Structure 1
Amino acid sequence: MHHILDKVEACKKKSQLQVSDFFDPFTINTASSILQGIQEIKFLTWGGYQGAERKKLYIFPEYLEIDKREFQISLICFQGSFKFFENSHRHVLGALLASGIKRDKLGDIFVNENLVQVLADSKVTGYLISNMRSIGPVPVVGEEKRIESLMLPRESLKEIRATVTSMRLDAVLSAGFFLSRSKSAELVKKDRVKVNWQPMTRVDYQINEGDILSVQGKGRIIVMEVLGTTKKDRIALKIGAYV
């Protein structure tokens, strides 16, 4: 949180708006709880559209009004023919990072059949359009669009029914991602797992209904409902896999 507190000091000293990079929901919530207790400043969060997952923090003097033009978020659309190549969020993010852009300069990413929409820091828009030439083997062409033209896809969940011996993180991961218990534990210990966007390295961490679990390179799931206990004393779960 030192980065955020530095923004607060700069805001007070210069009496100017201070804009952060993009943060995940866990960091945004943590920072917001801290900022709420600081006098002389106001703040808001925005990721380019209502309901954005990754957002920026805007910290400004309490007397200042913020104009939308100061949000510093751009929409970049990449078009390509992905008929013979799986165009997934993982592939797109990998290509963006390979171009030299850091993750904190990127907001939400939306992948459609032949169109990729990326919300990004306005300062890197020109660089991405010039340097992002392909996603996997598919050539792409980037163009900046008005952010109001963002097309939000309907996020769908593939329902999984599973039973687990306990609500430990490694057990639920194993059920939701169809992994062995040992492989799930390995991913946790290697710091590749987040629970509600918070990095988690405890394999015995207790998962609750509504928790979102993500694994680097594999996607994410949500524990939709705890259905009860089976005759063999296993816990029945309804899990949603984001597709």
Structure 2
Amino acid sequence: MDKASLINRYAKTPEQRVMFAHILDLALRSENRNTVESGNFLPESDADTVSDMLRSAEIHNYILFGGCDGAERKCPVFLPDYLTEDDITDSPTLAGIAFATAEVNRFDLDRADFTHRDCLGALMGLGIERETVGDIVCSGGKAVIVLKTGVAELVKNELDSIGRFRVTVSVGDTAVMERHDDSVELSDTVASMRLDAVCASVFRLSRGAAAEAVGRGLVAVNGSEASKPDAQVTEGDKISLRGKGRAVIGKTAGTSKKGRIRFEYKKYR
């Protein structure tokens, strides 16, 4: 299948058309030059689609790599014949990945408590494109940020505060990503376990706004873009809404006197 046909088959938005065309160009360049070629970080919802597209194109010399174990945002990395996946894992810089560590001063350690949203907002305030930022792991007054090497120095030199706290930033080739559970356990009632109803509850939207978000491709379930507002949500499903966060659906716990379904969920900060 040629490039245009692949893009027409798999891309659903203008942004995806540009992204997928670039990824296919990287694959071709890697094959022709026998070099490492790495794309930007993919949203979790696009990673499966990219894998399907590359499989259809019979392109197999690549990995999806996010710089650390358990990464949610990953880059497509196309490998020359002299490198293996282990080489990339051992030396993330080969994939164009660096790590920035932002820390508050010692006087604020007891007060600072960064969230993912705080850190991402500070980075976007520098004018950095979202696709150049991978996973962000926060713990108290410290944040470890996975970045493309092209923006690492900018972050090091320009990121001086997160939220209301001043920070010092260092950049390195590796970092210890100590993941902490930053979720809160919540519950609510809904008329049904339809995706639009659950999204409206979890992300505090109107039912209509939630259905519109699904229609615009902003909602992902278990890493794949959702397209049907009436899809049923079940225990264990991971739901994310672009710009609003993510949640994991827990068990249902009966119905209220008005017949609404009680359900539990974990929402991540």
Q: Check whether the contact 2:249–2:266 (CA below 8 A) recurs between aligned residues.
A: yes
Hey, what's the Cα distance between the residues in 2 that align with 1:50 and 1:201?
A: 29
Task: Give the aligned partner of residue 36 of structure 1.
Answer: 55
Instruction: Say which of 116, 120, 124 aligns to 1:97.
Output: 124
- Matched pairs, number: 238
Q: Structure 1: state its 5+ residue gaps.
A: none
Query: 1:75 and 2:99 equivalent?
Result: yes
Secondary structure of the equivalent of 1:185? helix
**Any gaps of 5 or more consecutive residues in structure 2?**
1-19
Give how far 1:136 is off: 2.9
**Which residue in the other structure is 1:17 paired with?**
36
Q: How far is 1:125 from its partner?
A: 1.1
Structure 1 residues 98 and 188: CA distance shift in structure 2, 3 A:
farther
Which one has a larger percent strand, Structure 1 or Structure 2?
1
**Distance apart, 1:156 and its partner CA:** 4.6
Q: Within 5 Å, give how 1:216-227 maps onto structure 2.
A: 216-227=242-253
RMSD over aligned Cα, in angstroms?
2.8
For 2:160, the aligned partner's letter is: R
Q: TM-score, normalised by structure 2?
A: 0.76
What residue is the counterpart of 2:161 in the other structure? 134
CA distance in 2, matches of 1:26, 1:170: 17
Partner SS state of residue 90, structure 1? helix
SS of the residue corresponding to residue 23 of structure 1 reads: coil
AA aligned to 2:137 is F
Q: Secondary structure at the match of 2:35?
A: coil
- In the TM superposition, residue 13 of structure 1 has moved relative to its aligned partner by 2.4
Distance, in Å, in 1 between the alignment partners of 2:228 and 2:188 is: 22
Whole-angstrom distance in 2 between the partners of 1:142 and 1:231: 53
Q: Is the 8 A contact 1:109 1:118 kept in 2?
A: yes
- Aligned twin of 2:185: 159
Identity %: 27
Alignment of 1:107-126 (within 5 A): 107-126=134-153
Name the TM-score, length of structure 1 as normaliser: 0.83
Change over 3 Å in CA distance of 1:91–1:201 after alignment to 2:
farther
